[in-house]
Structure 1
Amino acid sequence: MIEIEVVYAGVNRQVLRRIAVEDGTSVRAAVMASGIAAEFPELDLTTSPVGIFGRVVADPDRQLVQPDDRLEIYRPLLADPKETRRLRAAKAAQARQAE
């Protein structure tokens, strides 16, 4: 058995679980075994992007966990960062023209 951490930051609260899984467990299986889905019913762990120490895992069904990995479950962005930046720049340009 190896120990790992599984974390998820919901809108209102964060959960960090330290669990033990068998050697050879995939990232997706470890996330499913964490029990986090029971606390966040809106979370679909079969499709949610997952990362290890801040790096997105391309294929969580194939990648195996390593001892002391920190698996992070990502939620969808509420706003597109590029669009937000564009709107902020447009607003700043309008403010400069109004001066």
Structure 2
Amino acid sequence: MDNLISIEVAYGLPEQQFLYQLQLPYGVTAKQAVESSPLLNDQPDLVIEQVGVFSRPVNLNYLVRDGDRIEVYRPLKADPRERRRKQVEEERAESS
């Protein structure tokens, strides 16, 4: 049995997407997988804080499985709950 798994590491910017196919040893974490990819060479200022597998957020210590796509998420510009709260407040002010 081969101790390698095949995975993808993905990262997207508004103007460009990055997708890397890798073969790594069984037992690597999501963080190790991202660090093993060329992504940090292509995006040297990138800070890995949030990752997911097929759109499902996972911990950086998540053990990667064969066939996983590790997605590196950008930080949110605005908290969606805060943005929605402000929108509701504005709508209420307009209707008063």
Q: CA deviation at 1:30?
A: 0.8
2:75 counterpart letter in structure 1: P
Structure number with the higher strand fraction is 2
1:73 counterpart letter in structure 2: V
In 1, Cα distance between the equivalents of 2:58 and 2:81? Answer: 23
Q: CA deviation at 1:11?
A: 4.1
Ranges of 4+ aligned residues in structure 1 off by more than 4 Å: none
Give TM-score, length-normalised by structure 1.
Answer: 0.80
1:1-99 superposed matches below 5 A: 1-45=4-48, 48-58=49-59, 60-61=60-61, 63-97=62-96
Count of paired positions: 93
In 2, Cα distance between the equivalents of 1:53 and 1:27? Answer: 12
11-20 or 74-83, which moves further after superposition? 11-20
In 1, Cα distance between the equivalents of 2:50 and 2:30? Answer: 11
The percent of aligned pairs where both chains have the same amino acid is 35
* Stretches of structure 1 lacking an aligned partner (at least 5 in a row): none
In 1, Cα distance between the equivalents of 2:32 and 2:52? Answer: 13
* Stretches of structure 2 lacking an aligned partner (at least 5 in a row): none
In 2, Cα distance between the equivalents of 1:65 and 1:83? Answer: 33
1:55 counterpart letter in structure 2: R
